[in-house]
Amino acid sequence: MDNRPTGRRRFLKNGVALARFGLAGLAIGGARSARGQTNGSETAAASPKDLRAYGERSRFETSARTYVSGEPNTYAPIQDYDGIITPSSLHYVFTRGITPMDIDPREHRLLIHGMVDRPLIFTMDDLKRFPAVSRIHFIECVANTAPTRGRANYETVQERFGKSSCSEWTGVPLSTVLKECGVKKGASWLLAESADKIRHSMSITMEKAMDDALLAYGQNGEAVRPDQGYPLRLLVPGWEGVRNVKWLSRIQVGDTPFMTHIEIGTNASLRKDGKARWFNLEMGPKSVITRPSGGQRLLDKGFHEITGLAWSGGGAIRKVEVSTDGGRTWNDAQLQEPVLRIAHTRFRFPWKWNGEEAVLQSRCTDERGIVQPSLVEFANIWGVKPDYFRTTTNSVIHFNPIQPWKVTREGSVKNVIWEV
């Protein structure tokens, strides 16, 4: 007999662990069955305006989201972001006209059904009992930087790039919960559906669901904000923002894409040949200089740090280059740690302004070696002239060309994407 633990001893050990697990489950289960109870400790109710209980920023700070006319949608002040985390209060909101839901988490349910062995309904308390993870990821709207939207006010980085934000998300991996339901052989797609007033729904592949999708209930160390899907949203890292379904209440498992009206309508990328490229699932590499940027003003000659953000749905950012002479020469910017997969990455570049006109721009390369295209390269992919994007009424999404800003002799900064 060797010295390894015997199978019996191993079995007993596991048995003890399972028994303890079961008991713990019972203990918490008791609290859970009493409707309205949570696992958290009871705290004295604090008035919402009690700043000792829940703080506020300085009254001198004015950075804010801006409204998109007539809708609950807002652009995030990306020019004011520091580091890589977007404050939850400033995360962009783009909900296709849907007013954020006001959901009591005690009433909220998630149903998983379709091609599974065991359809299951989960309460929020159920979901919070699964082993959890926290991950830092950006979410970007497919219409971010789109050339055909809001052309009248299209000068600032907030209006152009303010539909990308980055948070630390906490939740249970979707794979864990799907395995609990037992995915049937042949299931290859799932539909994620919201509890909102039009039950917004989108397809994602089983491969992605089993890879890194998250049922998220936490954002930057507290509950997901109502305008981000409280109490539960789907996180599909690096994929189109519209697939990160908020107020998530139903997942249907199937064997084909579900062909929601968005997938076969506005979000198919329609090209000049009349063929639409549909299911452009992943967001491409993108970067932008956020300071200085359109609408800002340099007060003095001399030293200015150029800074901005880069991100890619395909993984980590490997390189960001900056040009201060309209793209004639490029130099590597410094990437600030941490440089994370599928997250905003902060870059910095020292610059001395000599008071002359200058065109500043950045381009990034992701871990797969995919380089952010110039406008001309992007137009070539589409088989059109660059001017097409300025004039067409076609909906152009996944628009990620290099963004140039011109600094004039007076120090004002302008969007010159169409002039290069």
Q: Which of 372, 366, 382 is nearest to 148 (CA)?
A: 382
Nearer to another protein, 129 or 149 (CB): 129
Nearer to another protein, 223 or 370 (CB): 370
Tell me the closest approach of the beta carbon of residue 329 to another protein, in angstroms: 23
Nearer to another protein, 349 or 389 (CB): 389
Rounded CA separation 229/244 (Å) = 9
Do residues 294 and 156 touch, judged by C-beta distance below 8 A? yes
In a 10 Å sphere around its CB, with 0-12 CB exposed, 13-18 middle and 19+ buried, how is residue 167 labelled? Answer: buried
Rounded CA separation 146/166 (Å) = 19
Tell me the closest approach of the beta carbon of residue 341 to another protein, in angstroms: 15
Which residues neighbour 367 within 8 Å (Cβ) at sequence distance 6 or greater?
Answer: 312, 314, 315, 316, 317, 318, 341
Nearer to another protein, 30 or 265 (CB): 265
Q: Which of 367, 348, 345 is nearest to 287 (CA)?
A: 345
Nearer to another protein, 93 or 397 (CB): 397
Cα separation values, 370 from 128, 143, 333, 348, 390, Å: 37, 20, 17, 21, 25
- Segment holding 222, helix H or strand E: strand 222-223
Q: Please give the torsion angle defined by the CA atoms of residues 210, 168, 130 and 175, in that order, rounded to the nearest 10 degrees.
A: 0
Tell me the closest approach of the beta carbon of residue 375 to another protein, in angstroms: 12
Tell me the closest approach of the beta carbon of residue 410 to another protein, in angstroms: 35
Tell me the closest approach of the beta carbon of residue 191 to another protein, in angstroms: 6
| Radius of gyration in angstroms for the set of CA atoms belonging to the chain, rounded to a whole number | 24
Nearer to another protein, 110 or 358 (CB): 110
Nearer to another protein, 3 or 47 (CB): 3
Tell me the closest approach of the beta carbon of residue 357 to another protein, in angstroms: 30
Tell me the closest approach of the beta carbon of residue 165 to another protein, in angstroms: 18
Tell me the closest approach of the beta carbon of residue 277 to another protein, in angstroms: 5
Dump strand ranges (E) for 84-146.
Answer: 109-114, 120-123, 133-140
- Please give the single-letter amino acid code of residue 226: P
Structure-token pair, residue 60:
């001198």
Nearer to another protein, 271 or 414 (CB): 271
Rounded CA separation 35/306 (Å) = 53
Nearer to another protein, 66 or 205 (CB): 205
Tell me the closest approach of the beta carbon of residue 150 to another protein, in angstroms: 15
Nearer to another protein, 125 or 227 (CB): 125
For 372-404, give one letter per residue: b (16+ CB within 10 A) or e. Answer: bbbbeebbeebebebeebeeeeebbbbbbbbbb
Tell me the closest approach of the beta carbon of residue 349 to another protein, in angstroms: 24
Transcribe 354-382 into DSSP letters.
-SS-EEEEEEEEETT-PBPPPHHHHHHHH
Do residues 217 and 173 touch, judged by C-beta distance below 8 A? no
